[in-house]
Structure 1
């Protein structure tokens, strides 16, 4: 089972404020634990602020581009990583180990090829 961990954006992440080195070290250690356990599918990817991004809206076969920044930071993603584990309980166990003092991580299972057969 694959799960994606979506780290919700904060005012600091949207302002491109880098976290303290201690936190960076802790999150890198956590990523190393994921790799050592053999559950990491993708590394922890940190996204640039929405002010440096854009959205593409599709309607009736046409598209339009919307330049960032986007207003609601609580609806934005600041980082993500993906794991592959045997169960939802194992995904929860890994989520409990994320070294955050504050913040929000949304954990969602992804569809796999058997789901589309």
Structure 2
């Protein structure tokens, strides 16, 4: 099962602004190395501050773009990991090991393609793409 570990920001985090101390960076590096050695890490990245981002609000056919920074910190994400584990409990155990002294991490299971209607043409196209045999589509 795949899980996304979402590192929630309590504010524009020091790590996101490049001001994290060497000890913090090393601790996170060691944690990432453990994930890699265990063979569970599929992806993981930190995100730049929200001042460099934008948010798009959808209302019917209308799209409104709002540039950052975003002041509502409960909505900010500082980074993420995508891991593959045998169970929810294993994913939670990996999340408990993240070397944080404050903040929060949200653990969410990622849908598997097999959970969708396999007769759907777009599900079939997605499977072909994942298998490396699908044609590239442009929007």
Output the TM-score relative to the length of structure 1.
Answer: 0.91
Aligned partners of 2:8 and 2:106 also within 8 Å = yes
Aligned partners of 2:12 and 2:50 also within 8 Å = no
Aligned partners of 2:51 and 2:69 also within 8 Å = yes
Any gaps of 5 or more consecutive residues in structure 1? none
Aligned counterparts, 1:1-117, within 5 A: 1-13=1-13, 16=17, 18-43=19-44, 45-117=45-117
Aligned partners of 2:12 and 2:49 also within 8 Å = no
Which residue pairs with 2:122 in the alignment? none
Output the TM-score relative to the length of structure 2.
Answer: 0.78
| Cα distance in 2 between the residues matched to 1:87 and 1:11 | 31
String of CA shifts for 1:74-95, please: whole Å, max 9, x gaps.
2210111110000011111111
Q: Which has the higher contact order (CA 8 A, sep 6+)?
A: 1
| Cα distance in 1 between the residues matched to 2:102 and 2:62 | 40
String of CA shifts for 1:90-117, please: whole Å, max 9, x gaps.
1111111111121111111111101113
Superposed displacement of residue 62, structure 1:
2.1
User: How many pairs does the alignment contain?
Assistant: 116
String of CA shifts for 1:45-93, please: whole Å, max 9, x gaps.
1111111110111211221111111121122101111100000111111
Q: RMSD over aligned Cα, in angstroms?
A: 1.6
String of CA shifts for 1:31-53, please: whole Å, max 9, x gaps.
0111110100103x111111111
Larger Rg: 2
Show structure 1 runs of 4+ deviating over 4 A: none
Any gaps of 5 or more consecutive residues in structure 2? 118-139
String of CA shifts for 1:13-33, please: whole Å, max 9, x gaps.
178252111010010111011
